[in-house]
A and B are shown apart, each in its own frame.
Chain A
C-alpha cells in the first residue's frame, strides 16, 4: 500500500489565502492541541522549558519578505503543512507501509503502529511537512484532521480541520479540490491558486492563493476629483475660496 492508489476523484485539501493570513499562529497551536489529544501519539515538546525547546508541530507559519524594485517591500505570512500530494513521494519511499494515501479522499496518513521511525519519508518530502516526534520516535504529519472531518461525535459544522475552524481571519479553506464545482475549487480558479514547488512533480492537492496586488493606490490628485473649493493661490485666498464653497454647500443642504 505504499504504492500510490489510483488518483481518487475526491481530493480533500486546504486552500490557504496568503492575501489574508496575518501570521497569528492560531492554526499552529490549534493543530497542536487537537493532535496532541487525538490521532496517535501526543505531539511532544522536548526540553519544553529549557534552553532549546523542540516540539513536534504539524503546521508552522513562516514569514517571508518580498523586496520589489518599484514598490515597497511586502511581508507575507506563510502557513505550511502537508499538501496531501497526488504524487506523494513520502508514501512510496516508506519501507513498512506505514505511510499511505487514502483511496477514498487522498489524505496522506501515517499508521503509527507500523512506523519504524526511519525518517526517509521526511527526506522525501520537499515541503518539510513531516516531523519525527522526539518522544514517540514515529513520524507525525498533518492528518487533515481525518478524525474530525468524519467524526460522528462532532456537530456537522465542526467537521473540518482544527486549523480551519480556528483561523480568525478566515485565511484557510477546506474542501474537495477534486470537484471543480466545490467552493474551494472555485476560489482557486478565481484567485489564481497555485502549487508550491511544482517543479518537484509532487502535484500537491493543497493550493495557495497569492497576495493581491500591494501598494497599488495611485489615485488622481484629490483636486481633480471634485469641484475644488480652493485650488491655488496664497493661503488667504485659499481660505476665502473655501468659505465661498462652504457657503454654497451649506445653502444646498
Chain B
C-alpha cells in the first residue's frame, strides 16, 4: 500500500495575535484577532477573557466578514437626491465637519434643545451622553427604551439591578434555572456557557416562552405560555409558594422592606412608609409590639401584624403582599386558561421551585459581616436562579411583570445568595444610588445634569409647569414617568409632529431608525421625507453616522462614516454598560488592530472634533484648541470625577490604581498587554449578599463604585411607584392629565400587578386572534448579519412559523404564503409549520428583512424578496378607541415599546404569491456592487 499523504500538520497560524473586544453583538467578548501579513486572517475567542473564556458565537467568528463587508461606507457623504433616494456625493472630512458645525453652532447658541441626538446600539453612551450634556440639549438617549428598559427599570426599582449587565445566575451552583422570554441575543455567550454548565451537572432548566427554540429547545421543561401573561403566571407561582409557606422569611426580614409599615391613614401619605423623625421607615418589633426604626439593633421585625396609630392599623408590606397574592384570582385554576398552562403544571413548577430552594439549600463556609455589624459564619443560598429578557419586557405590562419576577426571586431568598442570582459590580445600585433625569437647558450652556436617571416621585419628572414634556421623546413625562433609557422610538414621530416642539437637527448614530429600529417602519420613512408647503423637510436636518450602508443612510442629509470595530478605539466602561462578572470588576477596550483603507473615522473621535469646533466645555482648552486628540486620548485622560475615568484598570502614574487613580498615559498600552481587558476579583467574603455585605460595600468604595457605603434593602413594595399613584389620586402639587389618572393608578401599583396588555384589552379576539412575535436568530445581531457573507447564508429570509393548530385551521401546505394583518398594516411571508409553539402564536426572525438597495446586497436578495419586518404591523400608538385620544403602544410606566403585544389576523395568501410585501422602492447604493463570488484567504 502506498504511503498516505503528509499534509502540513503544523502550519503557522498567524504572524501575530491582537487581542481586542468583539462588536458583533452587545455581548462584548474578548477576541484573538490573528494577523497575517498585516491583515485580519482569523478570529477566535480569547481564553483569558472574563466574558467568554475562549468561546465565541457565530457572529463573533464571522467578524472578519463584517470587517470586509462590501456595505462599509467609504467617505463622508452629502445628500444630492431627495431624502430616501440614497443619492449622495462624496465630500471631504473638512467639508463634512464644517457643514455639521455650521448647522449645530447656531442651535447651541440659541436653542440647544433643537438638536436631538440619539444613538442606537452605542457602546459609548457615557461618552455620547457627556457630549450631549456639554452641548446643552436635553434630547439625548440610546436605544434602551426600544429594547429592554422595562427589565432594567423594574430591576433597579425592585432590587438595584436586573439581568445581563446587571447580574447573572450563579451558574456554578444553581440547581434549577427558570428562563423567561426571548433572551437569545443579550448576554449571548455567557448564557450559553451557563446553560452548558447546568447541563453538564444535569441541573433542571425550565423555559417559559411561547416558542420552543434555542435555549428553550434545551430546556428540560417547556412552558409554552401565551404572550403577555408571564406576570400572571409568576404571580400564580407566588400564590402557590405563599400558600405552602415556601418563602424565606429570615431573608425577607433582614434584606427587604417586607416588614416596613405602610401608612394606612387616608390622605397624601397613604401607602407611603411610616417613618420616624429621621425619616427612617418603621417596622413592628415582635417582642415589644412597638414601631421602631427598621435598622434598630436587636429588633425582631414582624411581617404579619401591624401597629395601631390614631385608630388606624398600619400593616407591614408583607401582609399587604400576602393578602393580595393569596387571593383566588391567582390560583392556578384561575390563571390557567389565560396563560395557556395547565394548573397541574403551574403547581408542579411551584413545587419544584420550593423543593430545590428549601430542600437543596447550599451553604458555603465563608464567614461574612452584614452592614448592621452582625457576623455570619457561612453563606446560605437557595439554588434557584432565573433570567428574563425582552420576552417579558417588551409588553405594555412588562415593567410590572419584571417586578413580579424579581419579587418571586426575592421571596425564596435567591438573590445575592449562593446558587441564586448574583449582581455584577457596579451593581447592585438602588434607584437612590442613580442620578435623577435632567432637562434644564439654556442657550450656549451645558445641560444642568445628566439626561437619564431614576425618578423617585413626580417631582423628578421632566415636565414644565403646564405638564408639558421637556424632552422631544416625552421621556420622564406622565406618559412614561420612569423611562430611564429615554424613548428613542418616539423621537421621529414627535419631531415630525412638532410635539412637544419643533426640532432642527436629528443626529443619529448606529440606529437604523428608517427600518428595523422603528415601530411602524413605513410611516417612519414617510415622516423622514415629509415636506412643508415650501418644500423644506418637516425634520429640517438629519446627520447620521454609521459604518455601513444601512436603510437609515438613505434618509440622512450628511453621513459621517464610522469605522469597523477592528479599526477603532473603544472602552467598555464601568461608567456605561460594563462587562463585569459576579465575582469580579472588569472593563475592556477596543483598539485599531488594522487601519482603515477607506476615508472613514471613528465616530467618537469625530464627535470630539465636532465638540471642539463647537467649543463645547470639556472638549476645548482655555485657548480654544481641542483638548483631546482623539477618542483614545479621551479614554486615557478624561476624568468623570477626580480619579475616576472611563477605564478603571491600570490607573495612576504607576498603573497600580484599581478603579481610582489619576490618568495613566500608558493605560491603553497596559490594556493591550493584558489582552484588551482588566479584571479585579472581589474578595471571597464580599462575593455574596452584596447590598448588605460590609466587606463588599467597603471594597466597592475603594474601587470608586460608590463614594460611601450604601447598604439598602430590596423594595418588594416600591414607594416611588406609590408616589406616582398618589399624584394620580389627586395628591400633591404636580398632577397628571386627567385622562392618564386611571391608567397610572393601575400601572403604578407599588406591589407587582398583572393586567392584560393594552392590545389584548382592546382587541377583539375574533378580529385579530393570533399573537405575532419576532425572535433574533443567535447568528445575527439586529440588521448587521445580512451584509455578512457567512451569516446571511444561515438566515437569509424570514419564514413565518405557524403553530400546528393554526396550520391545520387555515389549511396551509408547504410552499404557501401567509398574509398577516394588524389594525395597522399587512405583510406577507412564506409559512413553515412549527408544533413546538404556543397554539395562538406565529413568529418570524427579526431584522433580516432589508430594503432593496441597502447593505450592498443585490436587489434580488431574499432579504428583500422573501422577508418582511413585523415592524410594519406595529404602530407606536394604539388604534383609536373612540375617546378622542391616541394611546401609546408602550408600557405606561417606562414607555418601553410594546413589541410583543402585537395581535394579527392570518390568512392564506392567494396561490402564486412568491414575493414578500410591503416592498418599498429601492434606495440607490452609494457603494460599488461587490464581486459576485468570495474566497477570502490571506496568504503570507
Contacts and interface: CB of A to CB of B under 8 A. Distances in A.
User: Is there a direct interface between A and B, measured as CB atoms under 8 Å apart in the complex?
Assistant: yes
Interface of A: 1, 3, 5, 17, 19-26, 28-30, 32-34, 36-39, 41-55, 57, 63, 65, 67, 72-77, 97, 100, 102-103, 109, 111, 114, 134-136, 146-147, 150-154, 157-158, 162, 165-171, 211-223, 225-230, 235, 238-239, 242-243, 245-247, 249-250, 253
Contact of A26 (B4, B9, B58, B246): B58
14 contacts: A20-B195, A23-B217, A45-B793, A46-B933, A49-B861, A51-B861, A53-B792, A55-B789, A77-B217, A168-B192, A215-B222, A216-B221, A235-B327, A243-B322
Nearest to A19: B199
B218 A20 contact: yes
A81 to B, nearest CB: 15
A15 B213 CA distance: 22
Nearest to A245: B245
Contacts of A239: 322-323, 326
B220 A212 contact: yes
Contacts of A42: 935-937
A232 B250 CA distance: 26
B350 A150 contact: no
Interface of B: 1-5, 7-13, 34, 36, 41-45, 47, 52, 54-62, 64, 70, 188-189, 192-193, 195-197, 199-200, 202, 204, 206, 212-222, 224, 240-246, 249-250, 253, 286, 300, 302-304, 322-323, 326-328, 345, 347-352, 354-355, 778-779, 787, 789-794, 796, 804, 834-836, 856-858, 860-862, 865, 930-938
A134 B935 CA distance: 10
A222 B246 CA distance: 9
B347 A221 contact: yes
Contacts of A77: 217-218
A247 B936 CA distance: 72
A219 B355 contact: yes
A29, A34, A37, A220: which has the most chain B beta carbons within 10 Å? A29
B834 A168 contact: no
A135 B935 contact: yes
A235 B328 contact: yes
B243 A250 contact: no
Contacts of A216: 220-221
A165 B4 contact: no
A100 B861 contact: no
A136 B936 CA distance: 12
A243 B856 contact: no
B244 A225 contact: yes
Given A20-B199, A39-B7, A29 B62 contact: yes
Contacts of B243: 222-223, 228-230, 238, 242
Contacts of A76: 217
Contact of A157 (B47, B286, B865): B47
A235 B219 CA distance: 35
Given A166-B56, A168-B52, A44 B13 contact: no
Contacts of B836: 65, 72-75
Contacts of A166: 44-45, 54-57, 61
Interface-central residue, A37, A54, A103, A152, by most chain B CB under 10 Å: A37
B372 to A, nearest CB: 16
Of the listed residues B45, B204, B218, B930, the one surrounded by the most CB atoms of chain A closer than 10 A to its CB is B218
A165 B213 CA distance: 24
Interface centre among B206, B221, B224, B790 (most CB of A within 10 A): B790
Contact of B220 (A34, A109, A215, A235): A215
B304 A212 contact: no
Nearest to B322: A242
Contacts of A213: 220
B778 A23 contact: yes
A22 B205 CA distance: 13
B778 A147 contact: no
Nearest to B13: A153
A23 B211 CA distance: 14
Contacts of B70: 49
Contacts of B936: 36, 42
Contacts of B865: 51
Contacts of B215: 22
A53 B300 CA distance: 69
Given A29-B62, A74-B217, A170 B933 contact: no
A166 B728 CA distance: 53
B348 A218 contact: yes
A22 B348 contact: no
A217 B204 contact: yes
A229 B245 contact: yes
A29 to B, nearest CB: 4
Given A169-B196, A250-B302, A37 B937 contact: yes
Given A44-B933, A111-B7, A250-B286, A26 B56 contact: yes
B354 A226 contact: yes
Contacts of B354: 222, 225-226
Contacts of B216: 75
Contact of B245 (A28, A43, A227): A227
B935 A73 contact: no
B55 A153 contact: no
A168 B196 contact: yes
A182 B634 CA distance: 53
A37 B41 contact: yes
Given A162-B44, A170-B193, A214 B222 contact: yes
Residue among A103, A157, A235 with most chain B CB within 10 A: A235
A28 to B, nearest CB: 6
Contact of A24 (B192, B204, B253): B192
Given A37-B42, A222-B350, A225-B354, A22 B192 contact: yes
Given A34-B42, A214-B219, A239-B326, 6 more contacts: A26-B55, A49-B930, A170-B200, A217-B348, A247-B304, A250-B253
A49 B858 contact: yes
Given A24-B779, A47-B933, A214-B222, A102 B192 contact: no
Nearest to A27: B58
A34 to B, nearest CB: 6
B938 A37 contact: yes
Contacts of B796: 53
A17 to B, nearest CB: 7
B43 to A, nearest CB: 7
Contacts of A212: 202, 220
Contacts of A97: 2
Contacts of B861: 49-51
A190 B246 CA distance: 35
Nearest to B348: A219
Given A22-B218, A50-B860, A44 B212 contact: no
B61 A32 contact: yes
Nearest to B224: A72
A227 B243 CA distance: 10
Nearest to B59: A29
B196 A51 contact: no
A157 B195 CA distance: 22
A15 to B, nearest CB: 13
Given A1-B2, A67-B835, A73 B212 contact: yes
Contacts of B219: 214
Contacts of B240: 222
Given A38-B11, A147-B9, A50 B858 contact: yes
Contacts of A162: 44
Contacts of A235: 326-328
A247 B323 CA distance: 15
With a 10 A CB-CB cut-off, give which of B206, B243, B302, B834 has the most chain A CB atoms: B243
Contacts of A246: 245, 249, 303-304, 322
Nearest to B70: A49
B218 A250 contact: no
A63 B777 CA distance: 13
Contacts of B212: 72-75
Contact of A147 (B7, B328, B932): B7
A85 to B, nearest CB: 17
